[in-house]
């Protein structure tokens, strides 16, 4: 050394060195033969972000924040050469280099892992931003039109926390290797091989480490997962033998993609290391940035603020505390039995629901009907808007089966269904928590309110949406779900006026709750299929019947049965049928539609409504056929006048629009005289 540095400058340099080494990126240049980089935290990292991805001030890469239906991408800014670039031309596939990468992630549901959102994917892609990709189940990787297309050239390792049946997902907690599609080439439940296989929960919020390694000679990809405090397990979780040469281009971008759906979840990457032709440098776990605290911060507040106060008035606090705790305990008491422990993620605390709905204030009441009262609320921590349905239910019989069904229904996901988020039980009371639908139920737009009536385009959209939702329930989920109460007041409109079916499977509660000796039929008068009231058996074709009544309801703007003069009820299906017989079917339409309607579509809907209302269940179309007819993929079958005139709708004096049950022994031509509401304490 020819000259000395003055002391302050030396320490300044030390500080700079410490900052640059400890904060982040030590990335080798991409021109390097075997590029590599490592980020022990992302402070001052130069990644290319888009969507809602951002860096936190302490150096976490936060791919998504608590925003619905969004995408977050983060890519290494430079392209990485993945192939030997001396191949002759585009016709040769070239050999893909070996590569190795490892990263640490954490998926946190802001509502303490009660609910899952969508996952994270490590991705190798031809472009930095994956333009055109969609959020939710598409993970920000693909969209509905390019899914499965070989021209995508996308390789991904997904950490998937939602079971999407359209992609044949194995469960809602798995790791998979995806090539050009979200149908994984191979996948396995999250976990690792220690002495034996250990399960892991991806949305637990605990940081976990992933290793992805491709062996260019053996053409094999290994994926390994482990909690952060466990060294890399010897056996990989997944191993895929597949030559990637047709998938990867010469130069590709590497990074992460993540997306949110309707549940608020944050996805974090804490550190990342990558290398071509060699082992990625190990992350220094002690340097990784800290995740934000989760859970109640009450304790620390209590210590800093509350402690001195309590020291002064210890006795007073103790006495009033005991009183308070007892009162509070009574106020927030809920029922929890052993068999419910497995349903942890789907159970809500009564206290949270109480706070969310401001103590079930009348002001928050959205409506009440056959199945109970519905309140609007905002969950205290996550600020998710919810609708809470309060059902009084004295019968404890069948509760276990019913809750099992609720939990399984909570796994249904479709854009035309109102998402059931979970439940809570109290003495004599069941609370169901749903996504909040800002525009309320469809019937409000059909009856008595010409000011806010929907135009034809909107009505047709709602009809198609409800048909798709019902098709999903009948045919596209792992079990057949029968709705049992399809009607306009059970169709809710979301922010974009999409129709979403709500309350599915609820009618079952009343089946479970009743005496098995006398089978009860549950549903709403005017929507009940004749054979349903006769046999008491709920079938998909009984749902199609209700859907038919719903179609006529939407097209005509009238209820299936309307009281007119005393003793005189208007049966909508008969009325439409008369119009059809007279050859002036379109005159049956809702006068509020004005002249702004598509005659062909209106005619189709009315005829389809008649067809679905056929008294013979075998003459009704399936929901799949209904969807095909509405999409104009299939022509409407010719309607025969014969079956329709016998359209056995049953009705009676003094009916109301709420849940009605018939005793099956009565037969449908002699309806029971008392509309027995099964709702204990109902109207
Ligand atoms: C999420 O991130 C986006 C973009 O960075 C920002 O506009 C939005 O306010 C954030 N939302 C929340 C809830 O933090
Ligand atoms: C970050 O990377 C981009 C793309 O390579 C480059 O243009 C930019 O100069 C870099 N910024 C810094 C601060 O290194
Ligand atoms: C591959 O080689 C060709 C010509 O030799 C060159 O134009 C191209 O930029 C190279 N690609 C990469 C990724 O290095
Ligand atoms: C290109 O291919 C031809 C024949 O297939 C071969 O003779 C030639 O050596 C190849 N060139 C390079 C650069 O690999
Ligand atoms: C490139 O890979 C694809 C898919 O594996 C294969 O069909 C094709 O024959 C390969 N082309 C060459 C020139 O090897
Ligand atoms: C799907 O993504 C591709 C790009 O990969 C884009 O060209 C296309 O427009 C997108 N399609 C839709 C329907 O968003
Ligand atoms: C795949 O994508 C390309 C380009 O976007 C398109 O031309 C082609 O038709 C697509 N193939 C399929 C099967 O969708
Ligand atoms: C791990 O999870 C699977 C279901 O994914 C379950 O069948 C198995 O019993 C679990 N194993 C342990 C040890 O909990
Ligand atoms: C990890 O970082 C800590 C603190 O920065 C340092 O003391 C330690 O030597 C590092 N460990 C390795 C293996 O680099």
Supply the pTM of this predicted model: 0.52
Q: Which range of residues forms the domain containing residue 265?
A: 34-287
Average pLDDT, the chain: 78
Say yes or no: CB of residue 66 within 6 Å of ligand 1: yes
Q: Are 446 and 453 in contact (CB under 8 A)?
A: yes
Report which listed range, 239-248, 332-341, 555-564, is most confident. 239-248
Half-sphere exposure of 464 (CA within 13 A, CB side): 16
Burial of 308 (0-12, 13-18, 19+ CB in 10 A): exposed
User: What's the pLDDT at 406?
Assistant: 73
- Which secondary-structure segment (H or E) carries 159? strand 155-160
Residue 187 pairs with which residues in a beta bridge? 176
**Could you tell me if residue 28 is inside a domain?**
no
CA distance 580 to 278: 75
- Bigger pLDDT: 326 or 267? 267
Which ligand is located closest to the Cα atom of residue 46? 2
User: What's the pLDDT at 288?
Assistant: 94
Q: Mark whether 132 and 218 lie in a shared domain.
A: yes
Q: How far is the CA of 128 from the centre of ligand 6 (A)?
A: 15
User: What's the pLDDT at 448?
Assistant: 62
**Residue 340, SS3 per DSSP:** helix
Say whether 435 is catalytic: no
Closest CA to 204 of 173, 243, 175, 166: 173
Q: Given 251, 267, 287, which residue is the final one in a domain? A: 287
Q: How far is the CA of 149 from the centre of ligand 7 (A)?
A: 6
Residue 231 carries which DSSP code? P
Q: For residues 263-269, give the mean pLDDT.
A: 83
Nearest CA to ligand 2 atom 4: 77
289 token code pair: 């940035």
User: What's the pLDDT at 657?
Assistant: 29
**Could you tell me if residue 8 is inside a domain?**
no
Q: Mark whether 121 and 246 lie in a shared domain.
A: yes
User: What's the pLDDT at 333?
Assistant: 67
* Chain-centre distance for alpha carbon 387: 15
User: What's the pLDDT at 366?
Assistant: 83
Q: Mark whether 419 and 496 lie in a shared domain.
A: no
**Could you tell me if residue 657 is inside a domain?**
yes
395 token code pair: 């019968």
Nearest CA to ligand 9 atom 13: 284
Q: Mark whether 252 and 345 lie in a shared domain.
A: no
Q: How far is the CA of 153 from the centre of ligand 5 (A)?
A: 13
User: For the domain that residue 429 is a member of, what is the CATH number?
Assistant: 3.30.200.20
**Could you tell me if residue 310 is inside a domain?**
no
CA distance 447 to 396: 37
Q: Mark whether 530 and 567 lie in a shared domain.
A: yes
**Could you tell me if residue 25 is inside a domain?**
no
Q: Mark whether 147 and 274 lie in a shared domain.
A: yes
What Cα–Cα distance (Å) separates residue 623 from each residue in 448, 481, 529, 548, 615? Answer: 30, 12, 15, 11, 17
User: What's the pLDDT at 410?
Assistant: 75
**Could you tell me if residue 624 is inside a domain?**
yes
12 has a pLDDT exceeding 50: no
User: What's the pLDDT at 120?
Assistant: 93
Q: Mark whether 428 and 467 lie in a shared domain.
A: no
Single out the catalytic residue among 443, 485, 511, 543: 485
User: For the domain that residue 56 is a member of, what is the CATH number?
Assistant: 2.60.120.200
Q: Are 41 and 270 in contact (CB under 8 A)?
A: yes
Q: How far is the CA of 197 from the centre of ligand 2 (A)?
A: 43
Nearest CA to ligand 3 atom 7: 85
Q: For residues 283-293, give the mean pLDDT.
A: 90
User: What's the pLDDT at 423?
Assistant: 83
Torsional class of 153: left (φ above 0), alpha (ψ -120 to 50), beta (otherwise): left
Residue 227 pairs with which residues in a beta bridge? 208
Say yes or no: CB of residue 287 within 6 Å of ligand 9: yes
User: What's the pLDDT at 30?
Assistant: 43
Q: Mark whether 419 and 460 lie in a shared domain.
A: no
User: What's the pLDDT at 299?
Assistant: 46
Say yes or no: CB of residue 87 within 6 Å of ligand 5: no
Centre a 10 Å sphere on the Cβ of residue 382 and count the other Cβ atoms it contains.
Answer: 20
Asked whether the CA dihedral 660, 661, 666, 672 is positive or negative, the reply is negative
User: For the domain that residue 625 is a member of, what is the CATH number?
Assistant: 1.10.510.10
- Residues of the chain with pLDDT > 90, as a percent, come to 33
- Residues of the chain with pLDDT > 70, as a percent, come to 72
How many domains does the chain fold into?
A: 3
Task: Indicate the annotated binding residues for ATP.
Answer: 390
SS3 content of the chain, % helix, strand, coil (to 5): 30, 25, 45
Q: Mark whether 473 and 413 lie in a shared domain.
A: no
Q: Given 435, 452, 472, which residue is the final one in a domain? A: 435
Q: Which residues line ligand 7 (CB under 6 A)?
A: 149, 151
CA distance 680 to 682: 5
Q: Mark whether 236 and 262 lie in a shared domain.
A: yes
Closest CA to 53 of 258, 194, 240: 258
- Bigger pLDDT: 52 or 65? 52
User: What's the pLDDT at 25?
Assistant: 47
pLDDT digits (tens, 9 = 90+) for 111-162: 544 556 788 999 999 999 888 888 777 889 998 888 889 999 999 999 998 8
Q: Mark whether 597 and 654 lie in a shared domain.
A: yes
Which ligand is located closest to the Cα atom of residue 95? 5
Q: How far is the CA of 95 from the centre of ligand 4 (A)?
A: 15
Q: Determine the residue of 194, 199, 237 to mutate for testing ligand 8's pocket, defined as the one with the most ligand atoms within 8 A of the Cβ atom.
A: 199
300 has a pLDDT exceeding 50: no
pLDDT bracket for residue 40 (50, 70, 90): very high
307 has a pLDDT exceeding 90: no
Q: For residues 404-418, give the mean pLDDT.
A: 80
Residue 292 carries which DSSP code? P
Task: Indicate the annotated binding residues.
Answer: 390
CA distance 680 to 430: 12
Please give the number of the atom of ligand 1 that sits closest to the Cα of 66. 13
**Could you tell me if residue 659 is inside a domain?**
yes
CA distance 143 to 135: 8
Nearest CA to ligand 9 atom 9: 284
Q: Given 408, 435, 462, which residue is the final one in a domain? A: 435
pLDDT digits (tens, 9 = 90+) for 516-550: 333 445 667 778 777 777 777 778 898 999 999 99
User: What's the pLDDT at 551?
Assistant: 95
Least confident of 27-41, 180-194, 323-337: 323-337
**Could you tell me if residue 682 is inside a domain?**
no
User: What's the pLDDT at 452?
Assistant: 72
CA distance 543 to 484: 6
Q: Mark whether 273 and 364 lie in a shared domain.
A: no
pLDDT bracket for residue 86 (50, 70, 90): low
pLDDT digits (tens, 9 = 90+) for 89-107: 554 567 899 999 999 999 9
571 token code pair: 């049966």
């Amino acid at each position: 050394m020819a000259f000395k540095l003055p002391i302050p400058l030396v320490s300044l340099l030390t500080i700079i060195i410490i900052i640059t080494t400890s904060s982040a990126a030590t990335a080798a240049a991409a021109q390097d033969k075997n590029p590599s980089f490592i980020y022990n935290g992302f402070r001052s990292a130069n990644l290319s972000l888009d969507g809602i991805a951002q860096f936190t001030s302490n150096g976490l890469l936060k791919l998504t924040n608590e925003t619905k239906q969004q995408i977050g991408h983060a890519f290494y800014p430079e392209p990485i050469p993945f192939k030997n670039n001396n191949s002759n031309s585009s016709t040769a596939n070239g050999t893909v280099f070996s590569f190795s990468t490892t990263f640490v992630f954490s998926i946190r549901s802001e509502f303490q892992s009660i609910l899952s959102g969508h996952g994270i994917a490590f991705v190798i892609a031809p472009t930095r931003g994956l333009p055109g990709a969609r959020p939710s189940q598409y993970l920000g990787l693909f969209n509905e039109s390019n899914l499965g297309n070989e021209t995508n050239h996308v390789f991904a390792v997904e950490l998937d926390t939602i079971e999407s049946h359209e992609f044949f997902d194995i469960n809602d907690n798995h790791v998979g290797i995806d090539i050009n599609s979200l149908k994984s080439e191979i996948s396995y439940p999250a976990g690792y091989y220690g002495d034996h296989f250990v399960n892991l929960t991806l949305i637990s919020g605990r940081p976990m480490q992933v290793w992805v390694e491709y062996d260019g000679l053996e053409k094999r990809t290994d994926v390994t997962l482990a909690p952060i405090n466990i060294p890399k397990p010897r056996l990989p979780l997944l191993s895929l033998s597949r030559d990637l040469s047709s998938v990867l281009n010469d130069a590709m971008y590497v990074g992460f993609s993540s997306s949110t759906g309707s549940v608020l979840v944050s996805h974090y990457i804490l550190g990342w290391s990558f290398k071509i032709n060699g082992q990625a440098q190990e992350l220094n776990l002690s340097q990784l940035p800290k995740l934000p605290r989760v859970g109640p911060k009450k304790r620390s507040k209590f210590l800093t603020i509350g402690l001195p106060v309590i020291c002064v008035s210890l006795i007073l606090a103790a006495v009033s505390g005991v009183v308070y705790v007892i009162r509070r305990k009574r106020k927030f008491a809920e029922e929890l039995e052993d068999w419910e422990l497995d349903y942890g993620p789907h159970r809500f605390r009564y206290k949270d629901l109480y706070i969310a709905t401001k103590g079930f204030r009348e002001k928050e009441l959205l409506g009440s009907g056959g199945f109970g009262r519905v309140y609007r609320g905002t969950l205290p921590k996550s600020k998710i808007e919810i609708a809470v349905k309060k059902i009084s239910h004295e019968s404890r019989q069948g509760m276990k089966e019913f809750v099992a069904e609720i939990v399984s229904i909570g796994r249904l996901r479709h854009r035309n269904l109102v998402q059931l988020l979970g439940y809570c039980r109290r003495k004599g009371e069941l609370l169901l928590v749903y996504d909040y639908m800002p525009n309320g139920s469809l019937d409000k737009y059909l009856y008595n309110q010409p000011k806010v009536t929907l135009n034809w385009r909107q009505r047709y959209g709602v009809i198609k949406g409800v048909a798709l939702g019902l098709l999903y329930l009948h045919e596209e989920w792992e079990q057949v779900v029968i709705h049992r109460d399809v009607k306009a007041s059970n169709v809710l409109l979301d922010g974009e006026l999409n129709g979403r079916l709500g309350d599915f499977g609820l009618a079952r509660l009343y089946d479970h709750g009743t005496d098995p000796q006398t089978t009860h039929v549950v549903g709403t008068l005017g929507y009940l299929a004749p054979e349903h009231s006769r046999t008491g058996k709920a079938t998909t074709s009984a749902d199609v019947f209700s859907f038919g009544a719903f179609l006529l309801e939407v097209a005509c703007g009238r209820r299936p049965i309307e009281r007119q003069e005393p003793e005189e009820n208007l049966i909508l299906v008969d009325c439409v049928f008369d119009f059809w017989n007279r050859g002036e079917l379109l005159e049956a339409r809702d006068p509020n539609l004005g002249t702004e309607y598509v005659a062909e579509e209106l005619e189709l809907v009315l005829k389809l409504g008649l067809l679905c209302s056929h008294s013979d269940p075998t003459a009704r179309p399936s929901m799949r056929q209904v969807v095909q007819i509405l999409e104009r993929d299939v022509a409407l079958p010719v309607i025969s006048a014969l079956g329709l005139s016998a359209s056995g709708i049953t009705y009676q004096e003094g009916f109301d629009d709420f849940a009605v049950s018939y005793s099956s022994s009565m037969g449908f031509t002699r309806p029971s005289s008392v509309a027995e509401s099964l709702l204990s304490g109902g109207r």
